[in-house]
Amino acid sequence: MKTSKLLSLLLALAAALMLLTAAIAAPILCRPFYYAHIGPLQLVERTGLTEEQIKTAFNEMLDYCLGVTGEFSTGVLAWSESGKSHFTDVRGLFLLDLRVLAVSAAALVGLLLYSKFSKRRPADLLGRGPAFWAGAGLGGAFLVIAALAALDFDRAFTVFHAIFFPGKTNWLFDYRVDQIINILPQVFFRNCAILILTILVLGCAGLIAWDLVGKKRPQ
């Protein structure tokens, strides 16, 4: 069976992109993850809203960010045009992530099918297969990022917004005008980051283990 370095590189890239975008999508698509914060963060007591009002405001905001609806709303909470424009930017990033997830998953399946039916095997790169390099590369990069963020999450939060919303300050909400921020405390975003990192670490470990175990099987 012939081997291909290009196939190996493409498989590693597709696997890394699929894992990254899937990890990012997890806290976005799993609404119970947010609901689980309402009690521990005492959002009802701190805001004076009912749990149902909090869930409605969150769901309407998220429906807009996911493209489910074209009308922006936050339940009984007030919002400004500046606040809406930020969520429009967020909408673009969320939809981009989901599109890349779909494309990378389709590409990974397509490459595996191509390998099977063309009888081309991905070539080893420095003695390791594409799963190893996808896991090692992605995992290593995000462990470094996580270590830096852990030193000062507030600073990391600011840098994140400067990178993904360059030149904009509409993410700096006035809680009296854009009241949605009252039910989105920073600790929730920190926990989203922890969830994403946990999925990435476990996924990368799985990819590396898959390669290591596969190398021990008889060829």
Instruction: Give tens-digit pLDDT for 55-85.
Output: 999 999 999 999 999 999 999 999 999 999 9
Do the Cβ atoms of 31 and 59 come closer than 8 Å? Answer: yes
pTM: 0.92
pLDDT, residue 35, reads 98
**CA–CA gap between residue 2 and residue 191 (Å, rounded):** 46
pLDDT, tens digit, 9 for 90 and up, residues 196-214: 999 999 999 999 999 988 7
Contacts of 10 (CB under 8 A, 6+ apart): 107, 111
Q: What is the mean pLDDT of each run of 10 residues along the chain (219 residues)?
A: 90 97 97 98 97 98 97 97 97 98 98 91 90 94 88 89 92 95 96 96 95 68
pLDDT for 145-155, tens place per residue?
A: 888 888 888 88
